[in-house]
Amino acid sequence: MARIDWPDTPSLGAELDEFRLRMRTWIAENRPPELDVLRDWNPYMGERPTEVPEVARPAFEEWTRRLRAARLICAEWPSEYGGSDFTPIQAAILAEEMEAARAPVVTRGPGELLVGPAVLAHGTPEQKQRFIPGIISGQDRYCQGLSEPDAGSDLAAVRTRGEVEGDQIFITGQKVWTSEAADATHIIVLCRTDPSAPKHRGLSVVLVEIDPRYVTMRPLRQMPGGAEFCEVFFERAPAPLSSVIGGLNNGWRVVLTALSYERGGAATVHHLRFRQEVAALAELIRWRGRAADPRARRQLAWAYAQVELMRYQGLRLMNSLHEGLPPDNGSPSVRKLFWSEYHQRFCAEALALLGADAAAAPSEFRERIRGWRELYLWSRAETIYAGTSQIQRNIIGEQILGLPREPIVRGGEQS
């Protein structure tokens, strides 16, 4: 089985090609060589230093310092708040060059993925100056308080209350499946501030500092064994009204902005993590002596083709951005549906190809297989979080295809 070679990204013009070369040179000159020990570590899991192996932590911290000094963390964000005013295409090029150099991409988790986009799109100048620098520096670490026990993908059905008293708002209620809550300092909360308003109105988005006197975190252990999620309980947790993003009772519009970034999954570079997995699986199959196995070759070819389709989705989006064209309304849902269902099948096929070793994990094989088993278990949730596949299909049907929301009735029967 030959080494997997991925096609180069086509030229985007002289100016962007020069920018790519500049980023490539900067990474080569600044990436600490000690990061080589992270060769088998996923470079897109760097938002929490605790996830970095101890042996590489000093080098990772130095790398993070250099990225911050060069304003290459949240580089798309405005320079007046600590970013670099990168265009989406420039940010995609930077991520591609990071991946090519096996350089860890330092991200800020939900702060970068959800909170920052919401604040930049709907916040006041004072709110942007107050919240954005803390996200970039890593001082303010956010978790997302959106889902509830009785309102998962149906976010408009939230019951958590926000009661306004004077110049403060007090949050009472419960959230669940709260990502990255264990070491967060702040939480973005969707709450109901006008119970008499229609379902999608009367909601507000509030950025709340986590104070254990008012906010209780309970870890939820997952199938892979970790506890990346928590359930969160609020007992009149206070926040100033100046922490309400987009104004009172305008939360639905704000949360849709945030979710469009989460569901889009950084479409221009999302395929890069899947490339790494396909290459890693090919190497594992070679190591197990199954390089000539027709089924293994067929499944790798299928995965290669699917990842290439993701790359072309990203290139299409990059072209739209380059031409100044807005993306389709339902595009994030198309991409989320595609990658999540692909990844579930890929992980299942990976374990099937590894056969009995995936279950028994003999001692000489244990460390190599452990990550694949955890990845498989994690993938089971990917068609649920950030909006279930059913929700994504509804969005695609209604917003892209223009299908009616009402059931179609034929011959007196509902379908």
Pairing of strands 244-245, 186-192: unpaired
Distance between CA atoms of residues 121 and 124, nearest Å = 9
The residue count of the chain comes to 415
Distance between CA atoms of residues 249 and 169, nearest Å = 12
Distance between CA atoms of residues 231 and 161, nearest Å = 16
Phi, psi of 143 (to 5 degrees): -120, 165
Sign, Cα dihedral of 27, 29, 34, 39: positive
Distance between CA atoms of residues 340 and 334, nearest Å = 10
Q: Which of 127, 114, 139 is nearest to 189 (CA)?
A: 114
Contact 377, 351 (CB under 8 A): no
Distance between CA atoms of residues 90 and 98, nearest Å = 12
Contact 344, 382 (CB under 8 A): yes
Contact 387, 394 (CB under 8 A): no
Tell me which of 76, 97, 99, 262 is the catalytic residue.
262
Whether 18 sits among the annotated catalytic residues: the reply is: no
Side chain identity, residue 80: E
Burial annotation 273-294 (CB, 10 A radius, 16+ → b, else e): bbbbbbbbbbebbeebebeeee
Residues 6+ apart with CB under 8 A from 246: 118, 122, 123, 204, 205, 253, 254
Contact 10, 92 (CB under 8 A): no
Positions marked catalytic: 262
